[in-house]
Chain A
Amino acid sequence: MTTDFSSSLRMVSQDPGAAKPDPILTTSNVRRSFGGLVAVDVDHLEVQRGVITALIGPNGAGKTTFFNLLTNFDQPDAGTRVFEGRDLSGIPAHKVANLGMVRTFQLTKSLSRMTVIDNMRLGATSQEGEKLGKALLPFTWKRQEAEVTARADELLERFNLSHMREEFAGTLSGGQRKLLEMARALMVQPTMVMLDEPMAGVNPALKQSLLDHVKGLREQGMTVLFVEHDMDMVQEISDWVVVMAEGRIIAEGPPESIANNQAVIDAYLGAHHDSALDLGVE
């Protein structure tokens, strides 16, 4: 069922740093160290447009740090990141979001003392009412506000959060917060969504619907890059898998091939070689 989308990647070689036919995001020689620890050292990575790419790797591999570097929430020591043909060096994080690349956080950032619907409304970009000069003139933004609210309500419906509309986001359960954060990111109307462990702490029933949402994004033409430890999910929805270990990209390829890759098996198993590798493939 994923073949429609992954077909664009059929001819791509399965070496780390392989060139893609239509990359939306390209990074070269991105390095970031904390003191003596090199957290990220990625020679080259291209992310194909319009597909779902999974970024996997053991704990501490540098996935979140890499996400931070891609979205300019953190600055690399060296290297270039190009998104949709634009060099991201020196661009503040909020501008990266406005360019169409929106991320979520591993530790959810729900705005606790704001209602769910206000969390959603906040996500809309280019709001006239966010200009101080116009804040006091409601007639200049009332219409846009209504449009934003309508769009927010639609998304809440899709993410099964409508009944929590007026509640403070701080009262949501962990799984509901993950849903809210993803829905809120979509309010930005991004071209690329970066999800850092969207399934962590989400119950299995909800997981299936989240999976469907992520697939839905691809159907709408969005590019998805997500970090995930749940290999069933990776196998089910990703078109391409990138594996990180100790800051480097050690393998990439279609999900079926990754579980048999020797470098990946070594990275995951590390010291205890006797246990079997379960990457969700029989």
Chain B
Amino acid sequence: MDFLAIFENTVRGLIGEQFIYFGLAAIGLNMHYGYTGLLNFGQAVFMAAGAYGLSMAVVSLGLNFWLGLVLGIIVFPLILSLIMGAPTLRLRADYLAIVTIASSEMFRIIARSPSLDRWTGSSDGLTAFANDFYEMSPFQPGRRYLFGLFIGNQMWVVVVGWALLATVVTLVWAMMRSPWGRVLRAIREDEDAARSLGKNAYWFKMQALMLGGMFGALGGMLRAIGTQSSQPQNFITDVTFFAWVALILGGVAKIGGPVLGAAILYGVLNFTDIALRQMVQSGIMPESIMDGTQVGQVRFMLIGLGLVSLAIMRPQGILGKKEEMALDDH
């Protein structure tokens, strides 16, 4: 067994690209659900907005990279929030849930449609739209960095990602300490109470939906940049639920919750993946129990098992407080 490889891969999971993409998406969900009580089951569509905003701007419309950023991080998520939020945010929480999950599937299916090939690249998606990004890289593409964990371009994505994560976490922390954040919390606790005190709950919910959506778009865009491709299958519903898992694992309504959750989720996924593979290869794991092709599925079973135990033993997540959770049962 190659213990160094197991260790390296685990660390890559804990701090690498997937951690960043899903960390950002989960911060967005925390804004929605953790602080405002909005049920967004379609974070994937905001991530897709970021990815397609940039790639369509650059590839299909021939705009420059920076305009693509604005389109992907700001314009697309705002439009999406308005479309999904305007009819549902006055209603009970479940309506937003239905509309978001439907929108994310609709977007994926529409983007994949052959008739839109010249805009979205249909099922192959769009590629090579982030050259400008890599040209700014201070790292040499051929070299390995950080104890050999990341190659040049990867290192650039990861460094930018960490900076973005730090910025977004600080931003959310500062906003949630303000009177604005207090109104969001109040809406989460009891929307009617907030309204009875003169707060326009609808508008605050819309703002939260927009902001959380923008964080998701940032994650999705970075993911597209990291792989130089936006493809419909990158935004299946599983993507939304990975972000949810990260949030619940780390702790809902905690500033560090989504980030810690994403790190642990991908740390564990990477660890189980390589550890199981090595066990199969070295014969420690007999073929009769599992073979190499089953590793992918088995690690998700293990994650599932871990989540079930968490739900039983620590339902509030790693950073959450049990006493606070108990207050929820009015």
Residues of A within 8 A of B (CB): 71, 73, 92-95, 97-98, 102-105, 109-114, 118, 121-123, 125, 127-132, 134-136, 138, 141, 145, 168, 170-171, 184-185, 187-188
Contact = CB atoms under 8 A, between A and B. Distances in A.
Contacts of B174: 135-136, 138
Interface string B174-208: 11001111110110111011111111111000010
Residue with the highest number of chain B CB atoms closer than 10 Å, among A94, A136, A138: A94
A105 to B, nearest CB: 7
Contacts of A92: 195, 200, 202
Contact of B198 (A128, A171, A188): A188
Interface of B: 171, 174-175, 178-183, 185-186, 188-190, 192-202, 207, 211, 253, 323-324, 327-328, 330
11 contacts: A73-B195, A111-B193, A122-B186, A127-B179, A129-B178, A131-B180, A132-B175, A134-B180, A135-B174, A136-B174, A145-B179
Contacts of A171: 327
B180 A135 contact: yes
B197 A122 contact: yes
Contacts, number: 115
Interface of B is mostly: helix
A84 to B, nearest CB: 15
B185 A184 contact: no
B179 A132 contact: no
B179 A135 contact: yes
Contacts of B202: 92
Contact of B182 (A118, A185, A188): A118
Contacts of A145: 179
Contacts of A187: 197
A73 B324 CA distance: 29
Between A103, A123, A125, A188, the greatest number of chain B beta carbons within 10 A of the residue's beta carbon is seen for: A123
A174 to B, nearest CB: 11
B206 to A, nearest CB: 10
Given A130-B183, A168-B327, A171-B327, A114 B189 contact: yes
B196 A112 contact: no
B198 A111 contact: no
Contacts of B211: 132
A141 B178 CA distance: 9
A71 B198 contact: no
A141 B181 CA distance: 13
